[in-house]
Every structure is written in C-alpha cells, then in structure tokens.
Structure 1
Amino acid sequence: MAHTFGELVVGGVLFAPFVTYLVAAIAVLVVLRPLLTVAGFAKIFSHVPIAQLSLFVTILCLLLLLF
C-alpha cells in the first residue's frame, strides 16, 4: 500500500510535502542550537558551519523517513 502525502496549502498554492519537512527540520535545528552551544558543540569540530549543515541534513532525512 502506497503512502499518500498531503500537500500544504497556503493561500491556494500547493506546496510539496518536502517543504513541510524542510520547515520542521529548521524548527528543530533552531531549538537545538542553544542546547548545542551549552554542550560545547563548537569545540568538537574544526569547521562548525559544516557540522551544523550535516546535522540539519540528518534531521531532515530522519523526518522524511519517519513521516
């Protein structure tokens, strides 16, 4: 049985389900960033923006797989 994806409708414009997952991943990352700063995330990696991008991609992929 195939999973049907519901589109997001904003003002009569249909957005792909990927956009919803993208916004959810950004929201999760915004919540996690202060926690990661307190935990010393920047001290572990030599190039923090690439590590944050990798974390964002990981969160996005997990959302895509789970929902």
Structure 2
Amino acid sequence: MAHTFPELVIGGVLVAPFVTYLVAALAVVIVLRPLLQVAGFAKMFSHPAIAQLSLSVTILCLLMLLF
C-alpha cells in the first residue's frame, strides 16, 4: 500500500508536502534559537553556523519521518 502525502492547497495551488515540512521546521528553529543562545549552543562548536544548519536539517528530517 502506498503512502499518500497530504497536500496543502493555498488559493487553488497545490503545495508540495516538503514545503509544508520546511515551513514547520523553520518555525521550530525560530522558537529554539533564543533557547539555544541562552544555553550557550554557539560556544560548544568551532563553527556554530554549521552546527545550527545541521540542527535545522535534523529537525526537518524528523518532521518528515514522523508526519
């Protein structure tokens, strides 16, 4: 049995499920960013921007796997 992906319809235009997951991951990262700054996330890595990108990709992948 094939898995059907829910498509979002905005103004009659079908939006790919990936875009929905991307927006959701962006919202999660925006909420987590101040918390990570307080926790000293940037001080733990030599390249904090790459670490944050990796965290964003991880969140995106987890959202895609779970939903």
Q: Normalized against structure 1, the TM-score is what? A: 0.94
Structure 2 unmatched ranges of 5 or more: none
Query: What is the aligned partner in structure 1 of residue 9 from structure 2?
Result: 9
CA RMSD across the alignment: 0.7
Q: Normalized against structure 2, the TM-score is what? A: 0.94
Structure 2 counterpart of 1:63, one-letter code:
L
Q: Percent identity between the aligned chains?
A: 82
Q: Deviations over 1:4-62 (max 9, x none)?
A: 11111111111110110000000000000000000000100111111110000000000
Whole-angstrom CA distance in 2 between matches of 1:49 and 1:42: 8
Structure 1 unmatched ranges of 5 or more: none
Number of aligned residue pairs: 67
